[in-house]
Amino acid sequence: MSSVPSRPNFLLFITDQHRADYLGCYGHPVLRTPNIDSIAARGMAFDRFHVASPVCMPNRSSLMTGRMPSLHGVRSNGIPLSMDAVTFVELLSDAGYRTALIGKSHLQNFTPHAPIIKRPEPRPGFHEPSPPLRQALRNDLHEPQYEQETPQYWQTEGARVRTPFYGFEHVTLVRAHGDEPGGDYDRWLDARDPNARNLLGPKNSLPHDYVCPQAYRTAIPEELYATAFLGEQACDWLGEADPNAPFFLMVSFPDPHHPFNPPGKYWDMYKPEQFPVPEAFTRNDWEPPALVRNIFADRESGKANLTGMNTIGVSAREAQEARALTCGMIACVDDAIGRVLAALDRSGRREDTVVIFTSDHGDHLGDHRLMLKGAEQYQSIVRVPFIWSDPKGPNGARRTDALASTMDISATVLERAKVEPYSGIQARSFLPVIERGETVRDSVFIQYDHQAPNPGTNEPARVHSLIDDRYRLSVFHGTGWGELYDLQNDPGEFDNLWDDPAHAVVRARMAERLLLTEIEHVDRVPLPTRRA
C-alpha cells in the first residue's frame, strides 16, 4: 500500500523502570530533564497514565499488541511474545511506514535461567503425552526464533536480529541492563575501543562508598555507555531514513533500570542528601499489608535476593542513594534524547513527527521502604510518565488527569496514522482526550503474574487491580489478601481500607466493576466463521 502524505511520522522514546514523578516536567524537585521537558512543552502530559502490567515483558507486549497479558500470553516475565500475535507496528509497516527499533526489546527472554514453573512429572503408571500435546495450546516458543535476545544467541559470530521482528524492519538491539547490555552494543564498543570490555561490569568498577544494593560505579566512560550508543544509532537512522516514506522509530533505553551505575559525570551529578527520607520511614501510624511485611521479614532474616529483579526492603540511606543514582541515569538518557531531537530537527521532519515519551513501569525507590518492583501495586510502579507531542495539536504545554493505559498507545498511534486496527484489539485511542478533552476510560485494568511465590507464601504471585478516578482495588489470588486505597485522600497509599466497614460499599462497588472488567477483557477473536 502506498503511503499517504497526511500521515505523520512517530518517534517513541521509552525508558525502563522509570516512575512518573521522576521528570522535571512532572514536578520532581531535584532532577532536571530539559530535553524531555521540551517534548512536554509542545504537547500533552498525562498525570494518570498506568501500565497494563508493572513488569517488563508483559507490559511491553501489551504496548505492541494493544491487548492485556492474559490474552497475548505474556502473563509474566519468562514467556516470549508469540510471533503469531499481530502488533500495531506490523500494521504500520503494512500501511507503508518504515519501522525501526533501536534499544531494548524484551519481547523475548534474555537470560538462560530455567523457569520456576514447570510441568509436573508424570504419575506412576500414567502415559505422558507427546511434547506437542502437553499444553492446551500448541506453540513453538522453544524454537530458535524466540532465542534472539539470549546471551547464547549473541555469542554466535555475526549475530543479528532477524527482521522483520514483530513488525520492525530495522533492529539495533541491546538485550540487558547496566554497562553490559550486550547485543549490537558489543560490536560497536569493540570498534570504538578494542580494550573497552576490560572496563565493563561490577568486577571492573571504580571505588565508591555507596551501600545501596546493585550500586556500582562503572569504569566505562559516558561516551561509550549504552545510552550514548543508542542515541548515536537513533541519530544515524534518522539521518538515513527515506524522506519519501513515513516512519515509526522506537528508541528504547534500558536505563534507569537497576543496577544503579550511571557513567562518568552522571554518577555524582546528584547527591543522596538532596533527597528527603521517604515518608514511610517517618510514619508511626502505618500498618504495612501482609505482602510488604513479608518482604521486610525476608530482608531482616537475610533471605532477600539483593542481586535479583524483585522487590526488596531497604533502609532510608539505601533509598536516598538509589534515588540519586536513578536521577543520574535519567539525566544521561535526557541528554541522549536531546541529541536525537536535534537529529530530527536536522532531518527537516520535526513538523511532521509525533514525539512520544513513556516508560514500561516504575520503581518503588524507597516508597513504602521498598525498592525495585513486584506484586505490590503501588502508584510508584504502576503509574508512568506519558507525553504526546503532536505538531498538529495546540501550541504549548497541556496536562490531563484522564486515565489511560500503556496498551492504549497502539490504538492511538494507529488512529493518528489513519490505519484501521485488527479485530481483538483491546486498546482505546486517547486522541479524543488530546484533541477534545473527552474521557475515554473510567478505569484502568492492571494484571500482575509471576513465576515465584509471594514472599511468605507458597502461592505464585497473581494480582489483578482496578483503578478509577478515586480508588485502587487489588485482589491477590490464593492468599486472602486484598487492598483498597482512596487515592484522593491517601495519595501515599498508607491506609488499606479493604476491611474497613465504613468502606464496605465502596469495596463491593469496585469488586463488581473489576468483575465486569474481567468479562470485558475475555478474548473476542478469532471471529466466528459461521452462525452455528
| pLDDT tens-place string over residues 35-46 | 999 999 999 999
Question: Which whole-number Å values give the CA distances from 88 to 20, 240, 361, 417, 448, in the listed order?
Answer: 25, 23, 20, 11, 23
| In the predicted structure, residue 291 carries a pLDDT above the cut 80 | yes
High-pLDDT (> 70) share of the chain, %: 99
Pair type for strands 98-104 and 247-252: parallel
DSSP string for 452-473: EEPTTSSSEEEEEEEEESSEEE
| Mean pLDDT for the chain overall | 96
How far, CA to CA in Å, does 379 sit from each of 32, 58, 363?
Answer: 22, 18, 9
Superfamily of domain 9-112+140-441: Alkaline Phosphatase, subunit A (3.40.720.10)
Residue closest to 221 by CA, chosen among 235, 194, 242, 200: 200
Counting Cα atoms < 13 Å in the Cβ hemisphere of 51 gives 34
- In this prediction, residue 532 carries a pLDDT of 87
Q: What are phi and psi of 39, to 5 degrees?
A: -65, -45
393 pLDDT higher than 70: yes
- What stretch of H or E contains 229? helix 226-240
Q: Is 96 left (phi over 0), alpha (psi -120 to 50) or beta?
A: left
Instruction: Give domain limits for the chain.
Output: 9-112+140-441
pTM recorded for the entire structure: 0.97
Burial of residue 19 (CB within 10 Å: 0-12, 13-18, 19+) is buried
Alpha carbons 476 and 459: distance in angstroms, whole number:
10
Model confidence pLDDT, tens digit, residues 211-248:
999 999 999 999 999 999 999 999 999 999 999 999 99
State pLDDT tens for residues 408-424. 999 999 999 999 999 99
SS3 state of residue 54: coil
- Asked if residue 259 has a cis previous peptide bond (ω within 30° of 0), the answer is yes
Question: Mind listing the pLDDT tens digit for each residue in 334-358?
Answer: 999 999 999 999 999 999 999 999 9
The rounded radius of gyration (Å) of the Cα atoms in the chain is 23
Distance CA 148, CA 511 (A): 41
pLDDT in tens, 434-493: 999 999 999 999 999 999 998 999 989 999 999 999 999 999 999 999 999 999 999 999
